[in-house]
Structure 1
Amino acid sequence: MNSSIGRALASARLDGTKLAADPGPTPKSLAQAYEIQDEMIETISVPVVGWKIGANSPEARARLNTDQPLYGPLFDRWTYAAPTRIPTPNGALMVVEVEIAFRLKRDLELRDEAFSEQDVADAIGSVHPAIEIVDRRFRDTGKPVDAKWLIADGAANHAFIYGEGRTDWRALNLPELAVSVAMDGKVMGTGTGAESMGGPLKALHWLAEELRQKGKRLNAGNYIITGSLAPVFEGKRGVPIIGDFGALGQVEIVLA
């Protein structure tokens, strides 16, 4: 795969610009798409602080014409502690997703044996309410979004915002946790933790296994956001956007 594609995506992200056209031929497979993602990560030269999971529901996978979830990097430069203002470039999509985030307290060491869900749970240090702002580095052409280009583009992450975490997260029933999101005081959507692959821990387990099978691992200190739990919407600049996660707390942002 031509590494110039990864460089073009990295440049667009760093500059806050949109590519006028596809930067090369569409990847032939998900594997090639992840190779481009790796090239983008290497080129962008910003520390990776974790990972996002996308296409975490059957409906989302159907829209992207794929049969599996996908993942992409979270970069230090675009990671924020709430409450905060999030700079967004001109022409940004500013799509808002409310998600549950995990932060790991220890590495999930590479091994031949598959991880169990318990192995993954034991590596969790804290659980956080979170918002992700989604944007693509491609101009909107009206064509259906291709999952392979989405993967190459880092799964369309723009910003990750986390609220105060809880270390006693096992006291929470995460699949049944009720979540809502409001913009300028108006409720935009509701859901539960089960919206993401039956529960956020199941989503985290999927990612740990997906990376293990590729010879990669999750590291202590990594944040992992586990997918949207409520209908997504386009945010507006200058007004408060608040995700309410009940016992897990709130996360508040303003797009700027």
Structure 2
Amino acid sequence: MPISGKQQELADLLVAARRNASQLSSLPDDLVPATATEAYAVNRIVAEQLGWEPLGWKIAGTTDGVRNKLRLDGPIYGRTFRRFACTSPARFGAAELLDPLIECEFFVTLARDLPPRDAPWTLPETIAAIGEVHAGIEVAECRYARAALPPMPAILADGSASGRYVFGDSIENWSEGLASIPVRLEVDGALRREGIGADVMGDPLRPLWWLAEQRRHWGDGLRAGETISTGSMTGMLPVRGGQHVRACFGDTATIEITIDP
């Protein structure tokens, strides 16, 4: 799919920001993609130009609260990169993070491809492609400064603020259902957010089905080995240096992150 000169210009800016771990202080209006389709095309070009090994995809906007806050009509998504994946307990320096937001999610890794095809995927077919599920935290980051965020299509072009991915324990009984698993998010020992799997589109595996359909229409599908973060059950919680984050997924898994000053 050919892209315009403006789309390429935006992609170049986002590639440089990714490589330099920096933010754009502002974005000219004429570089904001006109549509979500144009924005996702920019995200594809950014990933291709970076040449980084993909981790998979992130999905956001999967709860009513997040969609209302971001003024979204439905979910959004973006490419993620394996170099930003790690396991709990994790430690980051505050200076290396870009306006970090903590999001408690399920990380779903595929065992089989969900390739492009004419017929729509069904939810059972999508579930059958799953290899494993982990408790996870995305430390979302944006290449635009939070104080000067551009319109949503520019954020989609940035991979919907894809950031770092902290893997917790494997959810061994995931096939029995994720909707009933509660999540508690604590910062420095104080409860800050609570949620449950069902908050994410009724079932955290439904966003995966949605993404499989999105990528089927794009003509590339989803691939075995890719990990998809299926959307936050605890919203988007800003964190800062000197804080310790702990997330409990029922009595099944715990994830811990320390943000050094």
Shorter-chain TM-score range: over 0.9
Deviation of the 1:210 alpha carbon: 0.8
- What amino acid does structure 1 have at the position aligned with 2:22? T
Aligned residues between the structures: 254
Moved over 4 A (4+): none
Alignment match of 1:199 (pick from 200, 203, 206) = 203
- What amino acid does structure 2 have at the position aligned with 1:188? R
1:36-88 per-residue CA deviation (whole Å, 9 max, x = no partner) reads 11111111111111110011123322333331211011101111111121345
Gaps of 5+ in 1: none
- Note the 1:46-195 alignment, pairs <5 A: 46-89=52-95, 92-142=98-148, 146-171=151-176, 173-195=177-199
Alignment match of 1:4 (pick from 9, 13, 25) = 9
Gaps of 5+ in 2: none
In the aligned structure 2, how far is the partner of 1:25 from the partner of 1:142?
15
Deviation of the 1:178 alpha carbon: 0.5
Deviation of the 1:124 alpha carbon: 0.8
- What amino acid does structure 2 have at the position aligned with 1:239? Q
Q: Report if the CA contact (8 A) 2:99-2:146 is conserved.
A: no
Given the two structures, how large is their TM-score scaled by the length of structure 1?
0.92
Aligned to 1:29: 35
In the aligned structure 2, how far is the partner of 1:52 from the partner of 1:189?
21
In the aligned structure 2, how far is the partner of 1:243 from the partner of 1:59?
19
Q: Report if the CA contact (8 A) 1:101-1:128 is conserved.
A: yes
1:230 matched to 2:260? The reply is no
